[in-house]
Amino acid sequence: MAAYIRNPVLRGFNPDPAICRVGDDYYIATSTFEWFPGCQIHHSRDLRHWQLLGRPLDRVSQLDMKGIPDSCGVWAPCLTYSDDLFYLVYTIVRSFQGVWKDLSNYLVTSTDIQGPWSQPIYLNSSGFDPSLFHDDDGRSWLLNMLVDHRQRKLFGGIVLQEYDKAAQQLLGDPRPIFAGTGHGCTEGPHLYSRNGYYYLLTAEGGTGYEHGMTVARSRSIFGRYEVHPANPLMSSRDTPEAYLQKTGHGGLVRTQNDDWYTSFLTARPLTTRGRCITGRETALERIVWRDDDWPYLASGAQVARQQVEAPDLPDYPFAAKAQRLDFDTPEIDIHFQALRVPLTPDWVNQTERPGYLRIYGRESLSSCFEQSLIARRVQAHATETSTSVQFEPETLQQMAGLVCYYNSAHYHYLHISGDEFGSRTTGKSLRKFINVSTADAGGVSEALPAGLEVTGIDTVYMKADYNGAALQFYFALVPGQWQAIGPVLDGSMLSDDYVQESGTGDFYPAFTGAFVGLCCQDLSGKNRHADFGFFTHQER
C-alpha cells in the first residue's frame, strides 16, 4: 500500500521552512518571531512523521529580544550541514515599521543538531532571510534579500557574498545576483547546484494569498539567472478553492534514493481566502526534474496538494504528544514558549510546588519586555484547552488565568482578579472575581461589567473551546461542572489576516498565529504568583 505525506506536516505557526538532510535524518527549521526560545527544529526520517526536536536559540547572548515589537524577532532561519558541522543562520528583526528596517543576521554552529550551539557570529544587517550555500569546491556563500528604503520599495533584490568558514567572516563585497520577477516582493533565497546549474529558489508575491515560489538558474553562481519558463514553480494565487493557500517560501531536499521534495510555507483559512488562526504552516511537495533540467511539481500543476506521494523510506513514527500535562516533572513541556525572554525559574517553574506550574506575575499582556506567559500553538481549527488555577490576588492589579493570544494588542483572556475597593465598602477581605478581557487593536474590554465573584474559592477551573472562528470560555468551581462565561468571541481575530486588516498607516507586521496558554500579571510590582494544577489540550 502506497504511503502518503499529509499536509501540512508542521501544523500551526511554523513558517519559512528550511529543509536539510544529513544521512538518514531530515530537519526543518522554521521562524519563531518574538517567541522564545528561538527557531523551531523538527526531525523526521520518512518525511511523513515529524517531531519537535528543540530550539537552538535558547539564551540571551544568541537572541536578545526584550522590547522588540510584535512579529519581529527571529525571521526565516536557514539550516545547512557541511564538513561535520551544522550551520544555522537567522535574522533578528528589531523594528519593521516605516521605511527603515532595523535588523541583523547571525550564524550559530554545532556538531550536534541538539546542541550545544555556539555563540553567534555577526554577519550583516543589509536585509533579512539569510541562507548559506556550501558549494562543491568547498566555498560557502551567504545570500539575503536587500532592504531598499527608497520610494518605500523595501525589496531590493538578492545579494550574494562569500563566507570564510575558517575565519568565520564574510569576504569582499556583496554582489547583486537577482532582481526578481514581476511578481515582486522577492525574498527567502536558497541556492542549490545540479547538473552544472546553480538554482536560485525565492519567495515572491508577499506572504499572503499572492504568495508563490520562483525558480531561476545560471551556469555561474553570480548570474545571469534565467527564470523558470513556467514560473512560478508553486502558487495558489489563482486557485482560491485549494486546500493549501499562501504557498511559497521554502527549500529543496534530495533523498537517499534521489527523489526530490520541496518544503514550503502554507496556510489553511477558515473560509475561502479568509482568516487563518493556525497561522502560516509547513508542507511538502514532490519535485521532478524534466529533460529541460528544470524542476516541476510532480503533479504537473502549480498548486500544492494535501496528500503527496511519500518517498520509499522505512516508516518512522513518533509517540503521540501528551494531551494532558500534570506538571509532575521539573522540566517545562517543550511545546510551551515564552514571549521575548527565557523561561527562567525566577518567574516560571515546576519545582517550588511539585505537581503545579507556578508563574510569578510581572508586566501586562501589552508589554514587549517581561511578560509572564507560556503558551503553545493552536494547530487545528477545533480545540479544547483546560486548566485549574489557584490564585489569591491582593490588589486589583494582579491577574492570572487562561489566555488565547495572538500578540500584545490582540487576545482573549479568562482571568481571576481582585477588587480591593469593594472590600472598603463592605468591611470584608478582598473580593475575587473572574472575567473575560478582550484586546483588539490596543483597546481592552471586559465581557461582564462586574465579573463573577469567586471569593473564598480555592481552585477555579477554566476552559477555552475553540471551534473555527467561534471561541467560548467556560469556568467551573467543581470539576466537570462547566458554565459558559461571557459571549461567544471572535477567535478569528487571532490571525495574521485580521491584524493586517485592522492596521492603519504604515505596514504592520503580523506573521505568527494563535496560541493558548497560562499567564499571570502583577502590575503592582510585588510578583504575586499563581499555581496551575494541570493543562489539557485536545484537537477535535
- Domains in the chain, ordered, with CATH? 15-232+268-276 (2.115.10.20), 324-539 (2.60.120.200)
For 426, residues 6+ apart whose C-beta sits below 8 A from its C-beta are none
User: What's the N-to-C CA distance of the chain in angstroms?
Assistant: 27
17: helix, strand or coil: coil
- Predicted pLDDT at 35: 98
- Predicted pLDDT at 152: 86
Catalytic residue among 34, 187, 419, 531: 187
Number of Cβ within a 10 Å radius of residue 366: 14
DSSP 279: -
- Predicted pLDDT at 430: 83
Which residues sit opposite 154 in a β-bridge?
148
Distance from C-alpha of 272 to C-alpha of 252, rounded to nearest angstrom: 29
Distance from C-alpha of 89 to C-alpha of 168, rounded to nearest angstrom: 13
Phi, psi at 402, each rounded to 5° = -110, 125
Number of Cβ within a 10 Å radius of residue 185: 20
pLDDT tens string 117-129: 999 999 999 999 9
CA dihedral over 473, 332, 53, 510, signed as positive or negative: positive
For 536, residues 6+ apart whose C-beta sits below 8 A from its C-beta are 323, 324, 325, 384, 385, 386, 387
Helices (H) and strands (E) in the chain, counts: 2, 40
- Predicted pLDDT at 1: 54
Q: Which of 174, 154, 155, 152 is nearest to 163 (CA)?
A: 174
- Residue 114: enclosing H or E segment and its boundaries? none
Residues in the chain predicted with pLDDT less than 70, given as ranges, are 1, 420-429, 503-507
Distance from C-alpha of 486 to C-alpha of 414, rounded to nearest angstrom: 9
- How high is the mean pLDDT of the chain? 96
Decide: 246 and 240 in contact? Cβ < 8 Å: no
Q: Which of 318, 229, 382, 257 is nearest to 43 (CA)?
A: 318
Burial class (CB in 10 A: 0-12, 13-18, 19+), 309: middle
- Predicted pLDDT at 424: 47
- Predicted pLDDT at 504: 47
For 133, residues 6+ apart whose C-beta sits below 8 A from its C-beta are 80, 140, 141, 143, 190, 191, 192
Distance from C-alpha of 141 to C-alpha of 191, rounded to nearest angstrom: 9
- Residue 298: enclosing H or E segment and its boundaries? none
Catalytic residue check, 312: no
Number of Cβ within a 10 Å radius of residue 138: 9
DSSP symbols for 22-91: ETTEEEEEE--BTEESB-EEEEESSSS--EEEE-SB-STTT---TTPPTT-EEEEEEEEEETTEEEEEEE
Phi, psi at 39, each rounded to 5° = 70, 105
pLDDT tens string 198-249: 999 999 999 999 999 999 999 999 999 999 999 999 999 999 999 999 999 9
- Predicted pLDDT at 506: 52
Catalytic residue check, 352: no
Catalytic residue among 16, 204, 259, 531: 16
Q: Which of 184, 119, 193, 110 is nearest to 145 (CA)?
A: 184
- Predicted pLDDT at 505: 46
- Predicted pLDDT at 429: 65
Decide: 402 and 388 in contact? Cβ < 8 Å: no
Q: Which of 193, 201, 209, 190 is nearest to 275 (CA)?
A: 209
* Residue carrying C-alpha cell 553567534: 120
Distance from C-alpha of 188 to C-alpha of 198, rounded to nearest angstrom: 16
